[in-house]
Amino acid sequence: MFTGIVHSSTGVTLLGAGAIKHSDVDEALTIAPCLVAADGGGDRALAMGLEPEAVIGDLDSLSQGARERLGARVHHIAEQDSTDFAKSLQLIEAPFVLALGFTGLRLDHTLAAMTDLIRSAHRVVMLAEEEVIFRCPPRLSLDLAEDTRVSLFPFGEVKARSKGLYWPLDGIDFTPSERVGTSNRATGAVDIALEGPALVMLPRETLGAALTGLGIG
């Protein structure tokens, strides 16, 4: 068990080394002003003119220049059984985390990050290039415009009930190997009751609705 490194009373913006839009980082920091980087995300932050309060990871990606510049803010976690994203989430104590830069490059890294989202006890919202992604709580209400894309991807056996979806989820058994719930559409406000582990994926412009639905906004 790791000991917490970052203790924040506000949300944390966590940067990885994957695809990141500067505008997304700027928006995230207005919502979650404490900036933390996972390994090579420290270089990403510095390249954007930002200095993270901490860099966490096994440091196989962070440049020597970034290590020297950030000094004691760099925390080497040598353990190799988890990703830098997972290490960072375990070492952050905060109300919620907005994660950027954990998708868009290597597919294996992206899939690992999705698994970390499911496993984490934190409230984590991931901003990908085109999506907002988060673990679905047992009850979720979203104020969405009609025809908004709503995808539900199971990470095990999942049962759900829904209101406000074009294709209701009731009575369907979802599993990763047999049945997933991608590319559904909202008919308006959406309510989902869920049993089992699943990620919700929404269009990037619905970040505000996602945060409100998770009790963050």
Residue partners of 17: CB distance under 8 A and separation at least 6: 38, 39, 40, 41, 43, 44, 61, 101, 105
Q: pLDDT tens for residues 59-74?
A: 888 999 999 999 999 9
Q: What is the pLDDT of residue 81?
A: 79
Q: What is the pLDDT of residue 110?
A: 87
Q: What is the pLDDT of residue 3?
A: 61
Computed over every residue of the chain, the mean pLDDT equals 93
Domain 7-129 has CATH 3.30.70.1380: no
Q: What is the pLDDT of residue 14?
A: 98
- From CA 158, how far away is CA 152, in angstroms rounded? 10
b/e per residue 154-188 (b: at least 16 CB within 10 A): bbeebebebebbeeebeeeebeeeeeebeebbbee
Q: pLDDT tens for residues 179-191?
A: 898 899 999 999 9
Q: What is the pLDDT of residue 18?
A: 86
Percent of the chain's residues with pLDDT above 90: 81
Res. 217 pLDDT band, cuts 50 70 90 = low
Percent of the chain's residues with pLDDT above 70: 98
Write the DSSP string, 33-97. -EEEEETTHHHHHHHTT---SEEEE--SSS-HHHHHHHGGGEEE----SS-HHHHHHHHEESS-E
> Is the model's pLDDT at 79 over the cut of 90?
no
Res. 154 pLDDT band, cuts 50 70 90 = very high
Q: What is the pLDDT of residue 1?
A: 47
Q: Would you list the domain boundaries of the chain?
A: 7-129, 135-213
- Read off the amino acid at residue 162: S
Domain pair 7-129 / 135-213, same fold? no
Nearest to 99 by CA among 192, 2, 19: 19
- From CA 50, how far away is CA 35, in angstroms rounded? 8
Q: pLDDT tens for residues 14-47?
A: 999 988 889 999 999 999 999 999 999 999 999 9
Indicate the class that CATH gives domain 135-213.
mainly beta
Q: pLDDT tens for residues 83-116?
A: 999 999 999 999 999 999 998 778 888 898 999 9
